[in-house]
Every structure is written in C-alpha cells, then in structure tokens.
Copies of this chain bind each other. A is one copy, B any other.
Amino acid sequence: MLTILLIILGGALSIAYGLWAINDVMRRDAGTQRMQEIAGAIAEGAQAYLRRQYATIAVVGVILFGVLAFLLGVWVAVGFAVGAILSAAAGFIGMNVSVRANVRTAQAATQSLGLGLDVAFKSGAVTGMLVAGLALLGVVIYYAVLTRALGFAPSSRAVIDALVALGFGASLISIFARLGGGIFTKGADVGGDLVGKVEAGIPEDDPRNPATIADNVGDNVGDCAGMAADLFETYAVTVVATMVLAAIFFAGQDILETVLLYPLAIGAACIVTSIAGTFFVKLGPNQSIMGALYKGFIASGVLSIAAIAAVTWAMFGGFSRTLTITGGTSFSTSALFMCAVVGLVVTALIVVITEYYTGTGYRPVRSIAQASVTGHGTNVIQGLAVSLEATALPTIVIVAGIVFSFKLAGLFGIAIAVTAMLALAGMVVALDAFGPVTDNAGGIAEMAGLPKEVRKSTDALDAVGNTTKAVTKGYAIGSAGLGALVLFAAYTSDLNYFIAEANRQGSTAYQYFRGVTPDFSLANPYVVVGLLFGGLIPYLFGGMGMTAVGRAAGAVVEEVRRQFREKPGIMEGTERPDYGRAVDMLTRAAIKEMIVPSLLPVLAPVVTYFVILAVAGKSQAFSAVGAMLLGVIVTGLFVAISMTSGGGAWDNAKKSFEDGFVDEAGVRHMKGSDAHKASVTGDTVGDPYKDTAGPAVNPAIKITNIIALLLLAVLAHS
C-alpha cells in the first residue's frame, strides 16, 4: 500500500506542478486590449469546438457505458468512464491554458525570445504533466479501488477487464479528438490559405481573412487537445497492457503485486524527473531554442535513468533478484532495469532521427527546398521521397529495441522498455505543446499589428515547434511499434487463459472458448488474411482523413468567399469579418467528418472476427484477429512515420525561404519567389499528412488492439 501511495504522490506532483505553472503563466501581462480581444475570440471558438466535440463523444460514450455495464459489469463500465473523463480533462485543461498562454507569449516575445519561450514552454508543460499525471493517477487509483476497496484479486479478470476498459475510454476520446481536431485545424489552415493567400493575396493570419481565428482555434483543438488525448491514450494503454502481461506472467506468485506496480512506479518516478527537467529549459547565450529544449530533455533522461534504478532497487530489494515467469523463463531485476534504459535510448534516438529529417539545416529539408527551385511537382516528389526514406532509421531503432529488451528479459522486458519510453511522456508532450501556443502568438502578433520582431521571435519558436511536433508523433508511433508485441501478447495471453479455463475438466466457465486452437503461424492463411486486413486500416483511414480535410477546407473556402462577397468592406478594412461563423461552420464539418473514419478501427476487428468465424470457424477467427493487431502496426508504423516526418520536412522547407534560401547554384530565393510558392504547395500537402492522417494512425492502432481485448472479454461472458 505504501508503494501505491508513493505512486499516487508522484501523480499528484504533476497536478501541483500544473497548478503552479498555470498560476505563473496567468500572472504574465496579457498585452493590449486588441490582443486580448483576439485571444478571447480564439478561446471562445476553441471552447465551443471542444464542448461540441465532447458532447458528440459523450453520446457515444454513454451508449458504450451502458453496453459495457450490461455485457461486462458495472466496474468495467466505470473503468471506461474513468479513462474517458480523465483523458478529456487533460485535453480540456491543457487547451484552456494554451488559449490563455498564447497572448501572454506574444506579449513576452515583445521583450525577448527567452521570455517568450519561457511562457510558451510552461504552458506546454502543464499539458504534458497533466497527460502523464492524470493517466497515472487514473490507473493507480482505480487499481487501488478495485483491489483494496472492492477486494478483487490483483490478477483477477475483474481487475484486468476494468483496466482494459480504462484504456478503451482513453482510446475513444483519443481517436475522435485526434481526427476531429486534425480535420478542424487543417481544414482551417488549408482552406484559409487557399482563399486568403492564393485568391485574395493577403498574408497568413491577416485579420481580414474570416478564417484566421478558426486557424488559430485549430492549433489549440488539434495540436494541443488532440495531441494530449493521443498521448494520454498511448500512456494508459501501454501501462495497462504491461500490467495485464504482469498479471498473467506472475500469476500466483508472491511477487505479483510488486511486478504489477513496477510500471506505475516507473511512471511516477519519471514524472518527478520530467518536472525537474522543465527547469533546465533555458535559452542559452547562443539563442538556440532547440538547444534549450534539448537541455531539458537530456536532464530528464539522465535523471530518469537514476530514478528508475532507484525504483528497481527499492521495489525488488536490489538488482540481482531473479524473477521467474510462471512456467517460463527467468531474468534478473538488473535486466529489467536495463530494459528501461533501452526504452530511454530508443526515445533519444527517435528524437535525434526525427530532428534530422524535419529540422532546417539538414539534408532532407534542404533537398526539398532545393527541389522547390524547379517547381511544384519536384517539391512534392522530393517531399514524398523524404517521407518514404524517413521510416528507415526509426524502424531499425525500434527493431533493435525489440531485440535488446527481448534478449534481456523476454516479452516482459519489451513491455518495460515501452513503459520507460512512455514514462517520459510528460517531458515529450511539454516539448510539443508549446508549438500551438507560439503559433497562436504569431497569429495574434500579426492580427494585432505588433512589430515585425515579435513575429520573428514567434516564427523561430514555431519552426522548432514543427520539429518537436514531428518528434512527439514519431515517439508515439515508435512506442506503438515497440509495444506491438506487448499488445499482441496481451491478446494471446488472454485468449490462452480463456481457452485453458474452458478446457479444464468439468469447467463451466468461458465455454465459448472450449476446443479453440488458434494458430498464429505465418503459414496459416488466415494469419495472412489478418495481416492484410490490419495493414489496410491505416491506408483506408489515412485516405479518409485526407479526403475529410479536403472537404472541410472546401467548406471554409466557400464560407470565406461568401463573406467577401456579402461584405465588400472586409478587404478595405472597413467591415469586420464574421469570424464566429467560420469557426461554427468548421466545427460542424469537423465533427461530421470524424465519425465514419473513427468507426473504421473500432469495427474492423469485430467485423473481421465475425466474417472469418462464418467462413472458417472460431479458431481461425481468433487467429485472424490476432494477426490483424500486428498487421495494423506493420503498415501503420510506416504510414505514420512517413506522413509526420514528411509533413514536418515540407513545412520547414517552406520556412527555409523566409530568410531567403540559397540553392546549389548559389542563387538566393526570397519569400514570394516561384521557388517559395512551390514550397507552399508542399507545405499544404504536408498539412493533412502531418496533422490529421498521420498522427491519427496511432490511436487507430491502439483502439484496434483494445477492441480485440474487449471482444475476448465479451465473448468470455457470452
């Protein structure tokens, strides 16, 4: 119980940090009247969107709550509600801080770049710590309630099902928030650019563009709230899957609860080190923003190694204790610690690789900028080439992570590596969530007519934000790749448990599973069928996401054209555009567009199960669904990394032109040149790639896995 209390304390620290940081941000100067007006409009739009999004999800959520309560009992349904509500809360609070920090960042940037970074980063850190803290608290407190207050055994089905349902609740918010937010933000961005920059010839964030507030709202609901929900889910699902594995691997041993709590303790320790790391983020004399962020990130990482070592030592009474999986292999606690280090190293490498592929100044982004010189077509070709190539090194790193952690401590070692990787979520999300704040700050500076230097500071922060955004997405999907085996193992272990129980002499439990013999060998055609069906999900889902952005952008174009037509004074600056209508229209469009694609990964495992059941029986249906879980990762990993890295590279290739890009022939191409225009095309293409379709693949993968686990639970109860 002491361990549980200490873990809760770690989680609570994140809330305390959040309160302190919110207070610190809110104390800052909120700028002029005009700036506050603009920020107010953004905040209003963002809240309106999120309210409507949550209202829509709530309808689905209440139905699912009822279904789960009916099928699997009330504690499972409560777990689902806990996951959903906490995930929504993390996104909602984070976004509310973000829409207040934006204007304060703009004001701080009038004084210095360092001050702007400070406000923006602190605001991002609120979201980061809340994501990690609330996810941890949700899991640990609900676990304590189930095992202590309600008296369920730690490895009982009641606990496992309830925790899986908690992950499902987080997944539900995540898939809708990522996709809905992504469609909103990129619909506004692409649509606003098309009608503003291209048709009307006014710059980005020009106050005459009726879509400009919507664009800034989008940054908050997509990049802040959507991303928070995504990482909350990734964190919750990974921790839960690791606990499910522990419950099965160490069933009946005295050490069981210690092993169950070990991933949570790692999470708690890393919240502390992440908070400590935030204080290292300070702009050095070289004014390198990425350098400042790296300082914080490296500090967190190094401290985390020490903290995880301490946790391992304290929980297992040293590094040389041997753990033995029930009826299986053994490994030492030092091996578990090394697995955690592997997870941290994988994180570090993915950060470095993603920076290389998306940062200005390196070959990939330069090659796209260079290709812009010969036109729109070659820009896009080179961007696609970079996006394809960018998958190689992360894949090799993930594979190495799998091999090393498996050699150290088997499947459970892989689970601990992923847990350690995600334990840094607080820091990684903090690095990312300052991006939308600075993006907004730039918009406010432009609309409020602040001096050019302010815009320059916010642009510099924003360019780094593009990279850190790509990093976070790469990190989330990388953890999914490394965690694929863990989720698959949770599925097979669950399945094997039900089969063993059903086949026990005289057993009356789980009779649905009696005589089932799944075969996960690649030689089984239904495994290949599952791999292909799973592989299809990210493609079809990605295609739907891209189309949805296209449609939403089209709706924005029409709305803006209508306003320009009906209020001719807008362009002269004598009439005020109706920002609210654009936000409102886009809200409806995004919510409508997010429904069908979100259902794809939810329904896919269920449909696959019943189709194969009808064709080839239970055993093959379970085999196909299992294979589907790996199929969705195998293509999802590549689709997501290529889209997020490629999109980031396109965006920064465009930014290369802001100060003039010197091509291979030594010619300097300025903003407004043909080469710059070509780079804008690439950026537009990259927008839905990196901010809608690509990042939504991660929740799609997770939800497919969670649904498969729930399917087993439901069938077990039937």
State whether A547 touches B389 (Cβ < 8 A): yes
Task: Offer 10 A-B interface pairs, CB within 8 angstroms, sorted by A.
Answer: A371-B550, A376-B376, A378-B553, A381-B684, A388-B542, A392-B543, A398-B532, A489-B523, A531-B630, A532-B634
Residues of B within 8 A of A398 (CB): 532
Contact stretch, chosen from A18-26, A275-283, A297-305, A401-409: A401-409
State whether B381 touches A550 (Cβ < 8 A): yes
Residues of B within 8 A of A637 (CB): 532, 535
Partner of A385 from B382, B411, B536, B550 at Cβ < 8 Å? B550
Q: Please tell me if A544 contacts chain B, counting CB pairs below 8 Å.
A: yes
Query: In the bound complex, how far is the Cα of B482 from the Cα of A271, in angstroms?
Result: 49
Partner of A634 from B198, B635, B642 at Cβ < 8 Å? B635
List chain A positions with a Cβ less than 8 A from chain B: 190, 193-194, 198, 367, 371, 374-378, 380-382, 384-392, 395-396, 398-399, 402-403, 406-407, 411, 414, 481, 484-485, 488-489, 492, 520-523, 525-529, 531-533, 535-536, 539-540, 542-544, 546-547, 549-550, 553-554, 557, 615-616, 626-627, 630-631, 634-635, 637-638, 642, 680-681, 683-685, 688-689, 693
State whether A684 touches B547 (Cβ < 8 A): no
CB distance from A629 to the nearest CB of B (A): 9
State whether A384 touches B685 (Cβ < 8 A): yes
Residues of B within 8 A of A688 (CB): 381
State whether B616 touches A403 (Cβ < 8 A): yes
In the complex, residue of chain B having the shortest beta-carbon distance to the beta carbon of A626: B522
For the complex of A and B, the 10 pairs showing the least CB-CB separation, nearest first, are A377-B684, A388-B543, A389-B543, A385-B546, A376-B681, A520-B522, A385-B547, A406-B525, A380-B685, A391-B539
CB distance from A139 to the nearest CB of B (A): 25
Residues of B within 8 A of A638 (CB): 535-536, 539, 635
Residues of B within 8 A of A685 (CB): 377, 380-381, 384
Residues of B within 8 A of A521 (CB): 520-522
Residues of B within 8 A of A384 (CB): 546, 685, 689
State whether A399 touches B539 (Cβ < 8 A): no
Query: In the bound complex, how far is the Cα of B527 from the Cα of A360, in angstroms?
Result: 37
Partner of A374 from B390, B485, B557 at Cβ < 8 Å? B557
Partner of A382 from B403, B522, B544, B547 at Cβ < 8 Å? B547
Query: In the bound complex, how far is the Cα of B521 from the Cα of A485, in angstroms?
Result: 12
Copies in the complex: 2
11 more A-B residue pairs beyond the given contacts A389-B547, A528-B630, with a C-beta to C-beta distance below 8 A: A374-B553, A380-B380, A380-B685, A381-B688, A384-B685, A388-B543, A390-B543, A396-B536, A407-B616, A414-B525, A485-B528
Tell whether A527 pairs with B532 under 8 Å between CB atoms, given A194-B378, A381-B684, A546-B385: no
State whether A532 touches B381 (Cβ < 8 A): no
CB distance from A513 to the nearest CB of B (A): 18
Query: In the bound complex, how far is the Cα of B634 from the Cα of A539, in angstroms?
Result: 12
State whether A402 touches B528 (Cβ < 8 A): yes
Query: In the bound complex, how far is the Cα of B377 from the Cα of A680, in angstroms?
Result: 8
CB distance from A530 to the nearest CB of B (A): 9
Residues of B within 8 A of A681 (CB): 375-377, 380, 681
State whether A399 touches B529 (Cβ < 8 A): yes
In the complex, residue of chain B having the shortest beta-carbon distance to the beta carbon of A629: B522
Residues of B within 8 A of A520 (CB): 521-523
Partner of A403 from B371, B402, B529 at Cβ < 8 Å? B529
Residues of B within 8 A of A615 (CB): 403, 407
Which of A376, A382, A403, A554 is packed against the most chain B CB atoms within 10 Å? A376
CB distance from A331 to the nearest CB of B (A): 14
Partner of A378 from B395, B492, B684 at Cβ < 8 Å? B684
In the complex, residue of chain B having the shortest beta-carbon distance to the beta carbon of A544: B389
Residues of B within 8 A of A689 (CB): 384
In the complex, residue of chain B having the shortest beta-carbon distance to the beta carbon of A414: B525
Query: In the bound complex, how far is the Cα of B355 from the Cα of A343, in angstroms?
Result: 47
Residues of B within 8 A of A627 (CB): 522
Residues of B within 8 A of A411 (CB): 525
Residues of B within 8 A of A526 (CB): 403
Query: In the bound complex, how far is the Cα of B532 from the Cα of A602, in angstroms?
Result: 24
State whether A492 touches B523 (Cβ < 8 A): yes
Residues of B within 8 A of A634 (CB): 531-532, 535, 631, 634-635
